[in-house]
Amino acid sequence: MFEDTNSEPGVECPEPEPTESMYELLKNLDRRWIFLMMGLAVGVPILFDLQFPETATQMTKNVYDAIEELPRGSRVLMAWDYDPSTEGELGPMATEFTRHCCERGHKLYYLTLVPVGPQMIEKSIDTVIRTNFPAYTYGEDYVNLGYKSGYEGVIKVIVTNLRGLYTTDARGTNIDQIPMCKDVANIQDMDLVVNVSGAYPGTKEWVQYAVTPFPDKIRMVAGVTGVQAPLFYPYVPKQLIGMLSAIKGAAEYETLVNKAYDGGVMDKKFMEANRRMGPQLVAHLLMIGLIITGNWVYFMQRRLEKQAA
């Protein structure tokens, strides 16, 4: 057998402490292992459709109650101000807002301030109303007013005069020929504004140019991306009754609506936010673990350097 020529006869080399061995392992860990762990953290929950219980915050409950407590047949303005770039976070919100309003029998007025918004509106109508609520009739129970350019300028007009910009719906039908639009002069006639916002224009503009000038007439809830949410917390609960923040807020709201209206039959499209929360939760836990581990390695390195000095 080989002999250790660097050791003195009769003197055994001390075994490294377990803590130091772990330190050396983590210090020299190939970053590709981290990439693999993150891939598994995201991939395994998707593969096995892992879902975790959601407990709604008060802000989410306020959104739910604002729609739930409206009398049946109330007018709800559905302002879908987002596009495919933020659909991952906001799509499940739009789906659940539409479903909840339909379950309550409200009349839905869709419009958008972003150019690609009409596609998002059509997706909500196709996947929820036409599929799950076939009794809902276009022109009597819901209408698509489509897109108008002008950003916040559109809000400034329709807050007092809807027909100043919207003379027809998205199909080109004169709104005076649409039964549910005949008695609507402006958005102050709406019982609630529901805004799903991806960027500009969106929730901020609706708050500034609709809710703030008419606080006693216009009530509003919103669903926004995680990046936007901190900007809008000061608006809650005065200008905004409640707000859904990112996919977490969508999952909480989804849980409340499903609990109230599922009826024992689970439709997968009404579980989309909870499904997307699975990989996000596991990946976030891994990130927290890596941050803690990285800091431990750093402080261990400083301690060993002091001992060596």
Q: What is the pLDDT of residue 3?
A: 47
pLDDT for residue 15:
61
CA–CA gap between residue 168 and residue 18 (Å, rounded):
75
What's the pLDDT at 16?
Answer: 59
Q: Are residues 187 and 256 in the same domain?
A: yes
Q: The whole model's pTM is what?
A: 0.86
* Predicted local confidence at residue 49, as pLDDT: 81
Domain membership of residue 39 (yes or no) is: yes
Residues 154 and 85 occupy one common structural domain: yes
Quickly count: other Cβ atoms within 10 Å of residue 20's Cβ.
12
Write down the pLDDT at residue 14: 58
**pLDDT score of 100:** 97
List the domain range (segments joined by +) for residue 281.
Answer: 18-48+276-308
* Shared domain check, 155 and 27: no
At 103, the amino acid letter reads E
Is residue 100 domain-shared with residue 182, that is, in the same domain? yes
Q: Are 104 and 68 in contact (CB under 8 A)?
A: yes
Q: What pLDDT, on the 0 to 100 scale, is given for residue 12?
A: 58
Q: Is residue 41 one of the residues assigned to a domain?
A: yes
Same domain for 147 and 122, yes or no, is yes
User: Do 224 and 296 have their domain in common?
Assistant: no
CB-based contacts of 136, cutoff 8 Å, min separation 6: 102, 129, 142
* Same domain, yes or no: 28 and 93: no
Going residue by residue through the chain (309 aa), what tens digit of pLDDT does each one get? 444 455 555 555 556 567 778 888 888 889 999 999 999 998 998 888 888 888 999 999 999 999 999 999 999 999 999 999 999 999 999 999 999 999 999 999 999 999 999 999 999 999 999 999 999 999 999 999 999 999 999 999 999 999 999 999 999 999 999 999 999 999 999 999 999 999 999 999 999 999 999 999 999 999 999 999 999 999 999 999 999 999 999 999 999 999 999 765 568 889 999 998 988 889 889 999 999 999 999 998 888 888 887
- Based on the domain organization, do 195 and 140 belong to the same domain? yes
- In a shared domain, residues 301 and 246: no
**Helix axis angle, 58-68 to 87-103, nearest 10°:** 40
* Alpha-carbon distances, residue 32 vs 57, 132, 166 (angstroms): 38, 46, 55
Within-domain flag for 3 = no
Residue 8 lies in a domain: no
Does residue 174 fall inside a structural domain?
yes
Residue-level pLDDT at 10: 54
